[in-house]
Amino acid sequence: MLHYYSFNQYLKDKHNKRIWRIPLSTGYPCPNRINGKTGCSFCDGKSFLPFYLKENELLENQIIKGVQAYSIRYNVDFFYGYFQENTNTFGPIDDLIKKYKKVLSLDNMKGLIISTRPDYINPDIINNINALINKFNKDVWLELGLQSINDLTLNRINRNHTYQDFKNAVKLIKENSDIKITVHMIIGLPGESISMIKDGIKTLFFDNKIDGIKFRLLEIISGTSIEKDYENNKEDFLIFDVESFCSLLCDLLEVIPENVVIMRLLNAASLRILCKNKEYFSKNQVLKKIDKELEHRGTKQGIYFKNN
């Protein structure tokens, strides 16, 4: 029994073959870190690029190196390009579209994921991306970093956008394109209780037409401004162990519509936090705990909507 609709399952259903994501960069900075802006409080501004890439490497080289690295490591022949670093709808639009087109034009690229912010979505970029979808007939996702639906939280972590900005971006995308939308959410942001997190996910899907969701457990990175916030206001931060984190994720899965793709439940940062008591958990071990808990409950993704 499938307890939730994973991205791997989505790719299998759509392509009937194993697919891997290749991290890419447009080479443009995060707009929340320029012109006097200091960036999100939880981010240290370091590159999300994998070990085999250099800063400002030509896109063609990024693709070649990514294909070489992941085809050998994971025995795959087909990929999604993933513009992951910084805000990938920020920059000269002609150059951005050229880069998206380069990825989508390749036979071994079955799709494209573009990570960005909701305040850097506009009609021009959406119309141009939709034209590429029509031209190449490939899967394109915009991954919108929201992190929380609570404006007080967004202000505290210095996101420099509001929940309304996110809703406006989703509406614009859905009314004018065939682009799929993933929302990125952080669990454990300061000032947010368990009930606030649960209610936030319910509100998120009540208000918006979203195709996928990605979770990350908040990591307090040394040297970031959220580290100072944590040192001064520890009572405002939730502390998770593997059991409480898995239990919360199961609660959240139950209130996410069953057709929404679970793009990610946890990442390397989440594992670092969960393993901080020196007991090591692999990603597969944590995912198995989540499956076991849902099986024990007799529930699955979207059960809330079937019972209401």
- pLDDT tens-digit series, residues 209-254: 999 999 999 999 999 999 999 999 999 999 999 999 999 999 999 9
Whole-angstrom distance, CA of residue 214 vs CA of residue 252: 12
- What's residue 207's pLDDT? 97
pLDDT at 1 over 80: no
pLDDT at 281: 87
For the segment 75-103, the average pLDDT, to the nearest whole number, is 96
pLDDT at 304: 84
pLDDT higher than 70, residue 47: no
The number of angstroms, rounded, from the C-alpha of 162 to the middle of its chain's C-alpha atoms is: 18
CA distance 244 to 249: 9
Determine the distance from the C-alpha atom of residue 253 to the mean position of all C-alpha atoms in its chain, rounded to a whole number: 16
* Residue type at position 218: L
306 pLDDT more than 90? no
pLDDT of residue 210: 98
**pLDDT above 80 for 278:** no
Neighbours of 299 (CB within 10 A): 18
Residue 198 exposed, middle or buried by CB count within 10 Å (0-12, 13-18, 19+): middle
With contact defined as beta carbons under 8 Å apart, do 46 and 40 qualify? no
Compute, in degrees rounded to 10, the torsion defined by CA atoms 181, 217, 12, 106.
60
Average pLDDT on 22-50 reads 88
Whether residue 188 has pLDDT greater than 90: yes
Cβ-contact 210, 263 below 8 angstroms: no
The rounded distance, in Å, linking the Cα atoms of 81 and 96 is 14
- Give, to the nearest 10 degrees, the angle between helix 59-74 and helix 93-104: 30
Q: Which two tokens stand for residue 214?
A: 């990605």
DSSP letters of 48-109? ---TT--TT--HHHHHHHHHHHHHHHH--SEEEEEE-SS-TT-S-HHHHHHHHHHHHTSTTE
Rounded average pLDDT over 134-157: 98
Q: Measured between alpha carbons, how far is 175 from 172 in angstroms, rounded to an integer?
A: 5
Q: Band the pLDDT of 308: cuts 50, 70, 90.
A: low
Q: What is the C-alpha to C-alpha distance for residues 142 and 154, in angstroms, rounded to an integer?
A: 20
Residues written for the chain: 308
How much is the average pLDDT of 15-41?
A: 92
State the DSSP string of 211-227.
Answer: SEEEEEE----TTSHHH
> What residue ranges do the domains of the chain occupy?
7-306
Q: 7-306 is classed in which CATH architecture?
A: Alpha-Beta Barrel (3.20)
